[in-house]
Amino acid sequence: MDGEGQQILARALNLSADEIALLIDQLLASLDKPDDAVDALWRREIEDRVKAYQAGHIGSVALEQVLAKYRN
């Protein structure tokens, strides 16, 4: 990290816990840029899964079964 980054960090560490949390949230949000290509791929995947379910090619699992699997 360069000198400016170090200065920003030092100032941020003097903030309250709530202000730090808000700052972190905003910094993380700035990294999450929309990607139309990825969104289109997910949209197609979802559509394909819905069609497969409706055609009876795949089934579903009840939420309680899924949760029970990971509780044990």
Q: What count of residues does the chain have?
A: 72
**Given this model, what pLDDT does residue 29 score?**
92
Position 64 scores a pLDDT of 95
Question: Do 1 and 12 reside in the same domain of the chain?
Answer: yes
List the pLDDT tens digit at each of the 72 positions of the chain. 899 999 999 999 999 999 999 999 999 999 988 899 999 999 999 999 999 999 999 999 999 999 999 997
Q: What is the rounded distance in angstroms from the CA atom of residue 37 to the CA atom of residue 42?
A: 9
Residues 22 and 48 reside in one and the same domain: no
Encode burial over 19-56: b for 16+ CB neighbours within 10 A, e otherwise. Answer: eeeeeeeeeeeeeeeeeeeeeeeeeeeeeeeeeeeeee
Same domain, 26 and 60: no
pLDDT at 72: 73
Domain coverage including residue 29: 1-33
Are 38 and 28 members of one domain? no
Indicate yes or no: pTM above 0.85: no
Contacts of 9 (CB under 8 A, 6+ apart): 1
pLDDT for 1: 86
Tokens of 12: 């941020």
